[in-house]
């Protein structure tokens, strides 16, 4: 078949079953290109059934000549992979002969064990960042990204981020329009670029009580408003002093800091997904003007809004 790209999905023992979802963007892409774009093969070192960490097993082919594959993707489990010398030799050969090699989540450790991340940028799950840096000091670990592509070596921050990595590969192969179509076909809330942060304020600012949860929900829906401590305390039906104490106890930050971070996250999404003027985005997310937003971005993101917009790249017309 003309234009077919063969992808070897290399499963480690006790692999995370969620990693199989990373094949979906390639399967969906096959519906939107003229020829069948991708042919996926499951591989393992010994071949045969490979058991996942949660029990179900997948039938695999034994490792074959890596030059037969356009892309090889390593899927590990939720514990650090233990790679044999033959497995690592295969990865080194694959990095030379396949067009791309990727390590999903902790699969980055296997790629690094093969010496393929020395002098390169990469990412992995944030929880394992200290171990990664200690083991591979020659790799420039960027834990702020959900995936990183450095030359022909790709790595993702986690298994769900592996889906974003796969959509990024589809974009590299077929353009942004097809990638966005694939993301819509997968009913992804939004297409996340590789520069997206691993953490979300919507997750970090969780709270056990319904009272503070209702305040967080109100704030998310009303970022354009001033959202003073008095306003939020009224939503919680508490005095400002009681509210501030309860909010900090449940979230670990002050109400003002939480609102700032939530506004930055909302503005970052608009910067990446639209071409609205920065001044308009500042107003829509409650910063009042662009300079106040710029200062907040420096505090929270460590970079200015224009840099984030540049990193997001051009938007396709769809």
Give the integer Cα–Cα distance in Å for 197 and 102.
19
- Sign, CA torsion 150/156/162/167: negative
* Residue whose C-alpha is closest to residue 46's, from 32, 59, 37: 59
For residue 17, the SS3 value is helix
Looking at residue 318, what is its pLDDT? 32
**Which residue, chain included where needed, has tokens 């094949």?**
23
Asked if residues 141 and 123 have their Cβ atoms less than 8 Å apart, the reply is yes
Tens of pLDDT along the chain (318 residues) come to 457 899 999 999 999 999 999 999 999 999 988 777 899 999 999 999 999 999 899 999 999 888 899 999 999 999 999 999 999 999 999 999 999 999 999 999 999 999 999 999 999 988 888 899 999 999 998 876 889 999 999 999 888 899 999 999 999 999 888 998 998 888 775 555 544 555 555 555 667 888 998 999 899 889 999 999 999 999 999 999 999 999 999 888 899 999 999 999 889 888 877 788 999 999 999 998 999 999 999 988 878 999 888 877 665 433
Looking at residue 151, what is its pLDDT? 95
Residue 62 — left, alpha, or beta (φ > 0 → left; ψ -120 to 50 → alpha)?
A: beta
Strand partners, 59: 49
Q: Which strand (E) or helix (H) includes residue 62?
A: strand 57-62
- Sign, CA torsion 6/43/93/140: positive
* Residue whose C-alpha is closest to residue 231's, from 218, 248, 250, 217: 218
């Amino acid at each position: 078949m003309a234009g077919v790209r063969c992808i070897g999905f290399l499963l480690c023992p006790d692999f995370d079953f969620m990693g199989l979802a990373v094949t979906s963007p390639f399967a969906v892409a096959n519906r939107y290109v003229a020829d069948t774009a991708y042919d996926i093969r499951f591989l393992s070192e010994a071949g045969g059934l490979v058991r996942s960490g949660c029990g179900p097993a997948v039938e695999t082919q034994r490792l074959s000549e890596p030059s037969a594959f356009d892309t090889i993707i390593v899927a590990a489990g939720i514990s650090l992979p233990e790679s044999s010398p033959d497995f690592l030799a295969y990865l080194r050969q694959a990095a030379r002969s396949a067009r791309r090699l990727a390590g999903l989540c902790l699969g980055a450790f296997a790629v690094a064990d093969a010496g393929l991340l020395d002098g390169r940028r990469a990412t992995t799950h944030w929880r394992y960042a200290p171990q990664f840096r200690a083991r591979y000091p020659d790799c420039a670990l960027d834990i702020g990204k959900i995936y990183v592509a450095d030359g022909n070596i790709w790595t993702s921050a986690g298994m769900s981020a592996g889906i974003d990595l796969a959509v990024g590969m589809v974009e590299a192969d077929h353009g942004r329009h097809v990638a966005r179509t694939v993301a819509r076909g997968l009913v992804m809330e939004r297409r996340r670029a590789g520069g997206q942060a691993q953490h979300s304020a919507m997750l970090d600012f969780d709270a056990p009580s319904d009272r503070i949860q209702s305040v967080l929900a109100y704030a998310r829906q009303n970022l354009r408003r001033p959202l003073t401590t008095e306003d939020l305390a009224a939503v919680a039906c508490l005095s400002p002093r009681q509210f501030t104490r309860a909010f900090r106890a449940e979230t670990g930050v002050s109400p003002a800091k939480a609102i700032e971070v939530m506004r930055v996250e909302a503005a970052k999404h608009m910067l990446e997904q639209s071409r609205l003027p920065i001044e308009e985005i500042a107003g829509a997310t409650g910063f009042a003007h662009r300079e106040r937003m710029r200062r907040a971005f420096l505090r929270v993101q460590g970079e200015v809004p224009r840099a984030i917009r540049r990193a997001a790249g051009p938007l396709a017309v769809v």
